[in-house]
Structure 1
Amino acid sequence: MNITIAGAGAMGSRFGLMLHEAGNQVVFVDGWKDHVDAINKNGLQVNHDGVEKVVKIPAYLQDQVPSDFKSDLIILFTKSLGLEGMLHSLKDTIDKDTRVLCLLNGFGHDEKIKKYVPEENIYIGNTMWTSDLEGPGKVKLMGWGTVNFKNWVPGHEESAHEIAKVLSDAGLGAEYTENILEVMYKKICLNATLNCMCALLECNAADFGDTSTAHTILTDIITEFAAVAKAEGVNLDAQEAIHFIETKAYNRETLGLHYPSMHQDLIQNNRLTEIDSINGAIAKKGRKYGIPTPYSNLVTNLIHAKEELRKAK
């Protein structure tokens, strides 16, 4: 399959590499010139569970994609702030047969995607894989993961299953998931706690988990998320979500040494974060349903304050 990875950061690089190694025709598209130049000059330099390798995958700057460039599948891995800009850059390459899979963290991306992609070609979901971008053209991969998604418009399940098979054949553990909103709520609990706290406290997941206040912080934030999910008809078990994070994400032998994406963005690269699509999105939904979300509001404001203090761009 011809696949475009739109957003070749940490996670996009991981997916692009694994899909390439499975025999697909993969192209990276990204807005970071140094990263694109490094990939094209030196190849993607990969540390995969301690094994070093270099893989040649073509990369384009998003404002230099040829207008006649086409792909069967575009996988969106931009940050939420860059989503619409990426879609605008790719608009001439998207036709009636181009399928678009969005695996961005958080909520609200469908409204932007629908401006550029026919709704029947949109697939929405999330992933539990992890990856670290260590510099231009350099990525560190660790651990295991899964992908869950479904077609946005009913009646396109067969196409969704076809995409899932392509991803799974590449070792990405993809599943068509009917109750995708429930799965997305579970994932956003991870983003809304570890991502934010590791950025605010400037630590990795295991170090945050070692603090005496970690359990209370998780409980306060995730309880709000469960209340908002219930208002949308989604059964989010707060205790189950907390247990998953505490038993899986803190383990120093697996994922615990990982610095989540918000830390990578704000602390390592001084970039603006996707907080408004995570805690900010839940706070917005809370206002819509009349549900108090003081912890989500506070975390959102603290991240924005830190962005301003660091003059993040």
Structure 2
Amino acid sequence: MKIYIAGAGAMGCRFGVQLSEAGNDVTLLDNWEAHIDAIKKDGLKVVGDEEKTVHLPIMKPTEAEGEGDLIILFTKAMQLRQMLQDIKPIVGSKTRVFCLLNGLGHEDVMKEYIPATNILMGVTVWTASLKEPGVVLMQGKGAINLQAIDASQEASGREVTDILNGAGLNATYDMDVIPSIWRKACVNGTMNSGCALLDCTIGELFASESGLKVVREIIHEFVSVGLAEGVTLDEDDITNYVMEISVKAAPHYPSMHQDLVKNHRLTEIDYLNGAVSEKAKRLGISTPYCQMMTQLIHTKEDIFGIK
């Protein structure tokens, strides 16, 4: 199968490696010059559970030629629209486009560029990190849940599920994946924004009684807005899930902290707490915590001069 990975950051590289080793024709697409140059020169170096070098083609999205059978989106949320514009030439009538971005509302953007019958939405708990350009850390195991957003395309979605499982990616075809997407967004909306603002690890945030109060308020706002939109969510279940993740990930700084504090890059806040705040305004629901977290993250971006 001809597969493009649109966004060859840590997760894109991980999926690219595993899908390639399963016998698929995989091409990485990215705009980071140093990363592209390093992989072209020395291959993609994998460290972690095992060490190896994998030689995968990599290029800018606008340089790709030939329609793909499957395109997996791993770009940053704020880069989605530009990526969809750039990959238009490789999206054919039968190309499945699978979104694994963090956050909410991506299917609405995708429908502006991709027929609904070609769109797959999903969520993953696989992890990876880039140590430097051309070097990806791959440790541990994960899983994927996915669904075709058009019910008539279930067979196509299950075919993609089988392809992912052939690469050891532990995929499950989910008849209602949207609650899982909201649940992960809630994890990110508590841990990412909180740790980025407070410059702390997940464990430090959750060890604070005051921090826990903020976390619970954010969870309540996510659930209230999700339920108002018709998403099946249970506040107690999501709270327990967030707490479990906080224990497992206690020593870590989440990705938004790395983006904002460490690397001074724009964050995905508008697709997490910001998305909930905007949905709440349309629904007439008050979400003061999500609104404030969004404003504070943008203030920190301004202070750092991030554009």
TM-score under structure 1 normalisation?
A: 0.93
Aligned residue identity for 1:276: D
Where structure 1 has 5 or more consecutive residues not aligned to the other structure, the ranges are none
Deviations 1:95-116 (A, max 9, x none): 1011100111111212221222
1:221 CA drift (Å): 0.2
Deviations 1:167-223 (A, max 9, x none): 122121111111211111111111101111222222332333333333212201000
Specify the SS of the correspondent of 1:175: strand
Structure 2 match to 1:231: 228
1:32 aligns with 2:29: no
Specify the SS of the correspondent of 2:88: helix
CA distance in 2: counterparts of 1:305 and 1:181, whole angstroms: 30
1:236 CA drift (Å): 1.6
CA distance in 2: counterparts of 1:287 and 1:75, whole angstroms: 32
CA distance in 1: counterparts of 2:53 and 2:245, whole angstroms: 30
Specify the SS of the correspondent of 1:299: helix
Alignment of 1:213-252 (within 5 A): 213-251=210-248
Structure 1 match to 2:46: 46
Structure 1 match to 2:288: 294
Aligned partner of 1:279 among 238, 259, 273: 273
CA distance in 2: counterparts of 1:62 and 1:204, whole angstroms: 34
Structure 2 match to 1:199: 196
1:155 CA drift (Å): 0.5
CA distance in 2: counterparts of 1:257 and 1:45, whole angstroms: 25
Structure 2 match to 1:151: 148
Structure 2 match to 1:171: 168
Contact 2:71–2:96 under 8 Å retained in 1: yes
1:139 CA drift (Å): 1.8
Structure 2 match to 1:15: 15
Deviations 1:54-100 (A, max 9, x none): 211111022322xx322110000111111111111111111101110
Identity %: 44
1:137 aligns with 2:134: yes
Rate the CA distance shift 1:117–1:306 in 2: closer, same or farther, 3 A: same
1:268 aligns with 2:265: no
Aligned partner of 2:80 among 54, 71, 83: 83
Structure 2 match to 1:57: 56
CA distance in 2: counterparts of 1:270 and 1:189, whole angstroms: 23
Rate the CA distance shift 1:39–1:208 in 2: closer, same or farther, 3 A: farther
Rate the CA distance shift 1:55–1:257 in 2: closer, same or farther, 3 A: farther
CA distance in 1: counterparts of 2:173 and 2:286, whole angstroms: 33
Specify the SS of the correspondent of 2:188: helix
CA distance in 1: counterparts of 2:18 and 2:258, whole angstroms: 22
CA distance in 2: counterparts of 1:221 and 1:293, whole angstroms: 8
1:264 CA drift (Å): 2.6
Specify the SS of the correspondent of 2:117: helix
Rate the CA distance shift 1:259–1:165 in 2: closer, same or farther, 3 A: farther
Rate the CA distance shift 1:214–1:17 in 2: closer, same or farther, 3 A: farther
1:27 CA drift (Å): 0.8
Task: Kindly report the root-mean-square deviation, in angstroms, between the aligned alpha carbons of the 2 structures.
Answer: 1.6
Contact 1:219–1:238 under 8 Å retained in 2: no
Deviations 1:211-260 (A, max 9, x none): 33332122010001111111122232222222222223333xxx333432
Contact 2:103–2:271 under 8 Å retained in 1: yes
Contact 1:132–1:259 under 8 Å retained in 2: no
Where structure 2 has 5 or more consecutive residues not aligned to the other structure, the ranges are none
Specify the SS of the correspondent of 2:151: coil
CA distance in 2: counterparts of 1:31 and 1:165, whole angstroms: 30
Specify the SS of the correspondent of 2:218: helix
Contact 1:31–1:63 under 8 Å retained in 2: no
Deviations 1:268-306 (A, max 9, x none): 322111111111110011111111000000111111111
1:307 aligns with 2:301: yes
CA distance in 2: counterparts of 1:269 and 1:141, whole angstroms: 21
Rate the CA distance shift 1:303–1:38 in 2: closer, same or farther, 3 A: same
Specify the SS of the correspondent of 1:69: coil
CA distance in 1: counterparts of 2:63 and 2:253, whole angstroms: 31
